[in-house]
Amino acid sequence: EAGVAQSPRYKIIEKRQSVAFWCNPISGHATLYWYQQILGQGPKLLIQFQNNGVVDDSQLPKDRFSAERLKGVDSTLKIQPAKLEDSAVYLCASMRGDTEAFFGQGTRLTVV
């Protein structure tokens, strides 16, 4: 089966600009996660969806970050406006049931 697809792989933007990341999970996976991984750190959960509903967004900086999962399939994460500290790899993962999460290759964001 196809894996979790993310795009773009790399993105460079200036601070205060906006950016969007896209994730297409594995077919049939109800749970979708977005993680932020800053260089040298572990992944930090930003938001978790169950189908098209939000399960946990307690660590999402809602003044600048937003995410949606329309129709419970693919998802978009947006940052507006970006700050220097948003430079990180953004990982998307999906899971069916309560087994294991499968990760995409991530989007590396550099804010200059």
If one asks whether residue 1 binds another protein (CB under 8 A), the answer comes out as no
Query: Is 35 in contact with 48 (CB distance < 8 Å)?
Result: no
51 to 80, contacts with another protein by CB under 8 A?
Answer: 55-56
Alpha-carbon distance 93 to 16, whole Å? 27
If one asks whether residue 87 binds another protein (CB under 8 A), the answer comes out as no
From candidates 1, 41, 70, 71, binder to another protein by CB under 8 A: 41
If one asks whether residue 42 binds another protein (CB under 8 A), the answer comes out as yes
If one asks whether residue 104 binds another protein (CB under 8 A), the answer comes out as yes
**Degrees, nearest 5: CA angle 70-72-77:** 55
Q: What is the DSSP string of 35-47?
A: EEE-TTS--EEEE
State the amino acid at position 12 in one-letter form.
I
- Residues that bind another protein in the complex, under the rule CB under 8 A: 4, 31, 33, 35, 40-45, 48, 50, 55-56, 91, 93, 95, 98-106, 108
